[in-house]
Amino acid sequence: MAAFVSAIEKARPLNAFITEAGEKALAMADASERYTAASSQIDQATTVRQAALAKESAIEGLYYVRAARTAMGMDPGPELESLTGQRSAGAVTEDRRINFDGREIEASPTPSGTTSCSWCSS
């Protein structure tokens, strides 16, 4: 992502049509991937557990859509039920920045248009 942003910044004077929506587009792409995965999972589900996992994938996608819409200043839509992992791990309640295995990781309860992680750059 850092390489994308750097290229956009270098090309800004050349093109008035460049948009810096990379992170927002990635969030929507992630949501689309979850939708595709959930569709495939539900088609192949033969047990209650498999159907439940498909539902989790679908809800994950909706969380990505909410995050992208919030980052774009749009109404995120209705509240969603929490995911199994959220119920066991809890939620981010304040802005946090930590160093984990030499990587700087940031978390916020409010989605934004920025993604900050050392492994995101290409």
Q: How confident is the model at residue 47 (pLDDT cuts 50, 70, 90)?
A: very high
Could you tell me the pTM of the whole model? 0.58
Based on its alpha-carbon atoms, the radius of gyration of the chain, rounded to whole angstroms, reads: 17
**Better-scored residue on pLDDT, 2 or 18:** 2
Residue 20 has pLDDT above 70, yes or no: no
Distance CA 73, CA 94 (A): 20
Instruction: Locate 47 and state its tokens.
Output: 């047990």
For 8, residues 6+ apart whose C-beta sits below 8 A from its C-beta are: 18, 20, 22
Q: Is the dihedral of CA 42, 46, 50, 55 positive or negative?
A: positive
